Amino acid sequence: MLCLDKLPNSEPKETVKLFLRRHWIDLLRIFVFSGAMLLVPVVIGVVLQLGDVQVLHHPLWSVVVMLALASYLLIVHALTLTEITDYWLDVWIVTSERVINTEQQGLFNRLVSEVHLGQIQDITSETKGLLETFLTYGDVYVQTAAEKERFRFKNVDNPDDVKITISQLVKQCKTTHDHDPKLISPGLGTSPTNPDPTAKVSI
- Interface residues with another protein (CB under 8 A) are 1-4, 19, 53-64, 66-67, 70-71, 73-75, 77-78, 81-82, 84-85, 88-89, 91, 102, 104, 107, 110
Q: E strand or H helix at 38, and its extent?
A: helix 24-50
DSSP 174: H
How far is Cα of residue 129 from the mean position of the Cα atoms in its chain? 19
Which helix (H) or strand (E) is 196 found in, with range? none
Is residue 139 within 8 Å of 153, Cβ to Cβ? Answer: yes
Nearer to another protein, 86 or 139 (CB): 86
Shortest Cβ 74–another protein spacing (Å): 4
Residue 36 or 73: the one with the smaller Cβ distance to another protein is 73
- In sequence order, the β-bridge partners of residue 103 are 111
What's the closest the beta carbon of residue 129 comes to another protein, in angstroms? 27
Bridge partner residues of 102 (DSSP): 91, 112
Instruction: Pick between residue 52 and residue 196 the one whose CB is nearest to another protein.
Output: 52
Structural contact between residues 111 and 50, judged by C-beta atoms closer than 8 angstroms: no
CB of 55 to another protein, least distance (A): 5
Q: What letter does residue 12 receive in the DSSP assignment?
A: T
User: How far is residue 138's CA from residue 118's CA, in Å, rounded to a whole number?
Assistant: 24
Q: Which is nearer to another protein, 58 or 171 (CB)?
A: 58
Give the nearest distance from C-beta 155 to another protein in angstroms: 18
Please say which residue, 32 or 78, places its beta carbon nearer to another protein. 78
Least distance (Å) between residue 57 CB and another protein: 5
